[in-house]
Amino acid sequence: MDFLGLCTDLYELTMAQSYLENNKKGKAVFSLFVRDLPEKRNFLVCCGLETLLEYLSRFRFGDKELAYLKSLNIFSSSFLDFLKEYEFKGNLYAVPEGRVVFQNEPLVQIEGSLPEVQILETLVINTIHFQTLIASKAVRSYLVAKGKSLVDFGFRRSHELQAGIYAARASYIAGFAGTSNLEAGRRFKIPVFGTVAHSYIMVFDKEEEAFEAFARSFPRNAVFLLDTYDTLSAAKKAVQLAKKGVSLVGVRLDSGDIAKLSKQVRSILDSAGLKKVKIIVSGGVDEYSIKEWLSKNCPIDAFGVGTKFITSADAPYLDIAYKLVEYDGKPKVKTSPGKATFPYKRQIYRYYREGVMHRDEVVPYTTRNKGETLIKEILKEGSLSVKMPSLKEIRETLMKDLEKLPPSLKGLKKESYEVIIK
């Protein structure tokens, strides 16, 4: 897909045509925010803005897209002409990627003529939702891992390929050391990791032959997978090989009673003087299992985190919306039960106490308070008005915010943070 114009819902376009026909072309502001945080999230990590900007620049309608829309027989030719010329030329305000945010805070606000900003709804929600969802899940593992390495092993069970690629980006921002996903490695210059699967071990007649063969092929990456048949005997075979001079940098455990096995394997390795050999654990790993293992002092050096993180399994979506808050200078509110909205383009002020986040205030954009402002102007009339940060800089932004996050919000127990809407 060169053009992304059809990456939208039909109703965005029927609305836009009707706006044009009814002369509703005034300046509108739409606000993207998460109403309530999921039960198992104490904060969110803003993520996906860079991707959104790329997608916005590709949100155009080429011949293929226009021919399809024409074939639906519902759009006027003047509306199709409007789409043919469409290019986003409005303003975009956003909380930078890597910042910690909370419920009811506008992550992205888009300002422009009403039809122009209405039709972006699906694209904006989809892009920011997914990466924010994943970064906010991944950071939980990062916080409980307390310095142990985490690697994204989730690509095979992401929801289609693209989700895997952007999840690797989001998890790198959230503190992961890298990913197994080569396309993400290439595209975002993220470190890539990986050694062998069980199939590799099974192909050789003897387990030790497989270990030795792999060490010969990749001496610097010689991580032996121990649980194809019996983890402890495999550990002993690894030790025998190491004694013979075969290179061994780590072992991986992918199943079984990890708490027990990691200690037994560590002891087998240590008794042989292989104290530098790392233990890597994978297979259904998430923040809960990491926390449990580390609380039992399991000697695990790194975790491969997969399916549960890449699908955000305990909260697979956020209650996110893109709502009209201002039109033609007038505030706009919806009063549907449970779905009420707050009017006006807004700014977020963040207040600290002794260097720790204390509360946020979400105020009309023109209100001038003291305090840190979170929302920046990113696009002005369609053009970048700031220098976009690198992936490493975004990661550092998050690390700084995590230092200032109230310690109670860093755990896995539900805690809340005060956000005042004024």
- Of 70, 89, 156, 422, the residue at the interface with its own copies (CB under 8 A) is 156
User: If binding is defined by CB under 8 A, does position 198 make contact with its own copies?
Assistant: yes
| Candidates 64-72, 140-148, 391-399, 414-422; binding stretch for its own copies (CB under 8 A) | 64-72
How far apart (Å, rounded) are the C-alpha atoms in residues 368 and 115? 30
Coil, strand, or helix at residue 421?
strand
How far apart (Å, rounded) are the C-alpha atoms in residues 65 and 69? 6
User: If binding is defined by CB under 8 A, does position 293 make contact with its own copies?
Assistant: no
- Of 193, 303, 344, 349, the residue at the interface with its own copies (CB under 8 A) is 193
User: If binding is defined by CB under 8 A, does position 127 make contact with its own copies?
Assistant: yes
Tell me how far CA of residue 217 lies from CA of 179, 208, 244, 249, 278, in angstroms: 21, 14, 17, 13, 19
- Of 118, 171, 289, 347, the residue at the interface with its own copies (CB under 8 A) is 118
How far apart (Å, rounded) are the C-alpha atoms in residues 165 and 181? 7
User: If binding is defined by CB under 8 A, does position 351 make contact with its own copies?
Assistant: no
CB nearer to its own copies: pick between 209 and 377: 209
Coil, strand, or helix at residue 213?
helix
User: If binding is defined by CB under 8 A, does position 356 make contact with its own copies?
Assistant: no
The 8-class DSSP code of residue 192 comes to B
User: If binding is defined by CB under 8 A, does position 256 make contact with its own copies?
Assistant: yes
User: If binding is defined by CB under 8 A, does position 342 make contact with its own copies?
Assistant: no
The one-letter code for the residue type at 295 is S
**Residue 316: CB minimum distance to its own copies, A:** 4
Strand-strand pairing, 91-94 and 376-380 = antiparallel
User: If binding is defined by CB under 8 A, does position 289 make contact with its own copies?
Assistant: no
Coil, strand, or helix at residue 302?
strand
User: If binding is defined by CB under 8 A, does position 397 make contact with its own copies?
Assistant: no
| Candidates 98-106, 194-202, 370-378, 412-420; binding stretch for its own copies (CB under 8 A) | 194-202
Which two tokens mark 404? 């200032």
Q: How far is CA 373 from the centre of its chain?
A: 23
- Of 27, 60, 84, 157, the residue at the interface with its own copies (CB under 8 A) is 157
**Residue 377: CB minimum distance to its own copies, A:** 22
Beta-bridge mates of residue 304: 151
CB nearer to its own copies: pick between 29 and 409: 29
User: If binding is defined by CB under 8 A, does position 99 make contact with its own copies?
Assistant: no
**Residue 218: CB minimum distance to its own copies, A:** 6
How far apart (Å, rounded) are the C-alpha atoms in residues 351 and 278? 42
Beta-bridge mates of residue 324: 30
Which two tokens mark 383? 């053009």
- Of 113, 126, 247, 373, the residue at the interface with its own copies (CB under 8 A) is 126
How far apart (Å, rounded) are the C-alpha atoms in residues 113 and 129? 24
User: If binding is defined by CB under 8 A, does position 367 make contact with its own copies?
Assistant: no
User: If binding is defined by CB under 8 A, does position 9 make contact with its own copies?
Assistant: yes
User: If binding is defined by CB under 8 A, does position 188 make contact with its own copies?
Assistant: no
**Residue 149: CB minimum distance to its own copies, A:** 15
- Of 296, 316, 381, 408, the residue at the interface with its own copies (CB under 8 A) is 316
**Residue 56: CB minimum distance to its own copies, A:** 13
Provide the sign of the torsion angle of the four alpha carbons 285, 311, 51, 144, taken in this order.
negative
| Candidates 1-9, 139-147, 347-355, 389-397; binding stretch for its own copies (CB under 8 A) | 1-9
| Candidates 84-92, 333-341, 356-364, 400-408; binding stretch for its own copies (CB under 8 A) | 333-341
Helix 391-404 vs helix 121-145: crossing angle, to nearest 10? 60
User: If binding is defined by CB under 8 A, does position 245 make contact with its own copies?
Assistant: no
User: If binding is defined by CB under 8 A, does position 113 make contact with its own copies?
Assistant: no
Beta strand spans in 193-341 (E): 223-225, 250-253, 278-281, 302-305, 320-327, 330-331
How far apart (Å, rounded) are the C-alpha atoms in residues 258 and 265? 10
| Candidates 210-218, 239-247, 290-298, 392-400; binding stretch for its own copies (CB under 8 A) | 210-218
Apex CA 392: angle with CA 302 and CA 311, to 5°? 55
Coil, strand, or helix at residue 393?
helix
- Of 46, 101, 114, 280, the residue at the interface with its own copies (CB under 8 A) is 114
